Amino acid sequence: MTAVARVYRWEITKPLAQKRTYLGLGTAIAVPIIFVVVLVLHSGGPNDVPLGRYIRDTGLAVPFVVLFFMSIWGLPLITALVAGDIVASETHNGTLKTILTRSRERGAVFAGKTLATATYTLALVLAMGLVGLAAGSIAWGFHPLTSLSGTKVSAGHGLLLLVASLAVYALPLAGIAAFGVLLSTVTRNSAASVVGALMWALLMQLLGVLPGTESIRPYLLGTQFEAWHGFLRTPVDYAPVTRALWLCALYIGLPLIAAYLVFLRRDVAGD
């Protein structure tokens, strides 16, 4: 375990030395702020999205609305930006041979990289959610939230629901990250992996809106971005949350297992 922890420490440091990481984190922070500023300056709002009507009632509603908009391609893009680069950047720098000729097993290196990607993904969601909450609360106060069922939820309880929602929201995003890690391992090309992971996310969204896909819709990755709606119903509807949990376990696990096997066996020549 200490081996993975040591590797993880540096696998966090490496993305932190790269501009794309700050581009991603900066976007996650800037978007909710811009969103709130625009809504403060102008009347009207996103009335046709979940909780959109209540956005000026409480800062608690802001992160939910922002997450909804960002789930379409914003967050998948900035997630893929780092996930798709996590192995490919080593190829680009020619450093895979440098770290694989030390004492760490390939499995530990892969685990460190995967954990670093997961950390970044979680950081994006948390940053966006918490900055949205802060910006919204400054603009409109920290008041009780109206749930999707129309009932009032106290601000304190609303905060708990927000944290739970962010956690569930991070799962499908991690699924996109896992796919990015797989592409990054297989293609060894950063741009191809970023675009590929984004296309994967968009394909899942597209399938969800095409006619005739109703039967598979609940199982698509994109649909899981709405699983948090269950938390905002009274009483809480755990069905979409449970489905998101096991489905995302597959969407995360399968690409990671494939990537792990490729990483363990691949020839490191020219990278």
Partner 1 sequence: MSDAPPVETRGLVKRYGDIVAVDHVDLSVEAGDVFGYLGPNGAGKTTSLRIMLGLIRPSSGSARLFGRDPLIDGAKALDGVAGFVEAPRFYPYLSGRRNLKLLADYDEPASRTRIDEVLELVGLRDRAKDRVGGYSHGMRQRLGIAAALLRAPRLLLLDEPTTGLDPAGMRDMRELVRRLAGEGITILLSSHLLHEVEELCNRVAIIRRGAIVYQGQLRELLNRAVTTYRLQALEPDRARSLLLAESGVGDLRLNGGALRFSADEDAVARVTVALGQARIAFTALIPETTSLEELFLGMTDGESSDHDRPSAVAV
Please list, in sequence order, all residues whose beta carbon lies within 8 angstroms of the beta carbon of residue 142, skipping any fewer than 6 positions away. 58, 59, 60, 155
- CB of 180 vs partner 1, minimal distance in Å: 21
**Which is nearer to partner 1, 17 or 209 (by Cβ)?**
17
Q: Report the residue number, 3 or 126, with the smaller CB distance to partner 1.
A: 3
Tokens of 40: 């403060």
Cβ 67 to partner 1, closest distance in Å? 32
**Tokens at residue 82, please?**
């780092």
Contact between residue 199 and residue 227 where contact means Cβ atoms under 8 Å apart:
no
Closest Cα to residue 202, out of 85, 74, 64, 32? 74
CB of residue 25 to partner 1, shortest distance in Å:
17
Closer to partner 1 by Cβ: residue 108 or 131: 108
* SS3 state of residue 146: strand
Nearer to partner 1, 19 or 42 (CB): 19
DSSP state string for 151-171 = -EE-HHHHHHHHHHHHHHHHH
The closest alpha carbon to 3, from 116, 87, 109, belongs to 109
Q: Binding of partner 1 at residue 238 (CB under 8 A)?
A: no
Closest CA to 131 of 239, 15, 33: 33
Give min distance, CB of 104 to partner 1, in A.
5
Shorter beta-carbon distance to partner 1: residue 5 or 203: 5
Per CB under 8 A, does 261 bind partner 1? no
Size of the site for partner 1 (CB under 8 A): 27
Q: For residue 139, what are its two tokens? A: 């603009």
CB of 95 to partner 1, least distance (A): 5
Of 67-96, which residues contact partner 1 (CB under 8 A)?
A: 93-95
Q: Which residues bind partner 1 (CB under 8 A)?
A: 3, 6-7, 9-10, 13-14, 17-18, 93-95, 97-106, 109, 265, 267-269
